[in-house]
């Protein structure tokens, strides 16, 4: 799908992997290649996903929630790292055992970029009211001030929240987002995608 839709990026990724191998003579796993390609795509074209149709944009977050749930059952530390955008060796090892799940997430992200490139939907930034509604909903679902601040503002609690608590909070966040009114949800999704592209 990447070759069909972003051919130059596909070729650049392959050239980069070939150059890395020529230099190090170390073969990487297919899971590394997938994670690294999607990291590059998120940085170069991730902003397009914010302009996608409702369904592809929503699917991107649904697939992330599915991955978070699976990580929450297997590795709380990697779950938290993934929540903040990391796809390191631990995540690659997880993906090696869950390749359908990992590839579905990668494809969902790519389809959102493709949709955004085609549709170019401009969405307003979330309003203060949007965030107040979200905060109340998160609180109603059991999250405390520390978890909410960590999720919405990136504030690090003192002492830091443990991995199990933060992993669960991340899942609750994505679940609650799905319950918001559509207009507010789409604005927050779009902002989240923009922040991920810049991270």
pLDDT at 13: 95
Residue holding tokens 């009211």?
Answer: 129
146: confidence class by pLDDT, cuts 50, 70, 90: very high
The stretch 140-144 carries a mean pLDDT of 95
How many other C-beta atoms are found inside a 10 Å radius of the C-beta of residue 196?
19
pLDDT at 198: 84
Q: Which two tokens stand for residue 98?
A: 């869950």
| Chain segment 41-78, per-residue pLDDT in tens | 999 999 999 999 999 999 999 999 999 999 999 999 99
What pTM was estimated for this model as a whole? Answer: 0.92
Higher pLDDT, 124 or 153: 124
């Amino acid at each position: 799908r990447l070759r069909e839709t972003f051919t130059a990026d596909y070729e650049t990724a392959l050239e980069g992997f070939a150059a890395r191998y020529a230099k190090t003579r170390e073969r990487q796993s297919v899971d590394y290649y997938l994670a690294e390609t999607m990291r590059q795509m998120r940085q170069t074209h991730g902003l397009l996903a914010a302009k996608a149709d409702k369904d592809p944009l929503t699917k991107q977050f649904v697939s992330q929630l599915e991955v978070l749930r699976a990580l929450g059952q297997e590795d709380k530390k990697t779950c938290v790292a993934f929540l903040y955008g990391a796809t390191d060796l631990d995540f690659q090892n997880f993906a090696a055992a869950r390749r359908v799940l990992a590839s579905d997430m990668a494809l969902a992200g790519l389809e959102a970029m493709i949709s955004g490139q085609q549709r170019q939907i401009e969405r307003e930034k979330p309003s203060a009211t949007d965030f107040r509604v979200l905060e109340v909903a998160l609180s109603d679902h059991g999250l405390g001030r520390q978890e909410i601040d960590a999720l919405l503002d990136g504030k690090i609690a003192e002492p830091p929240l443990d991995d199990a608590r933060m992993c669960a909070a991340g899942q609750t966040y994505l679940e609650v987002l799905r319950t918001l009114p559509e207009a507010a949800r789409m604005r927050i999704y779009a902002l989240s995608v923009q922040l991920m592209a810049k991270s």
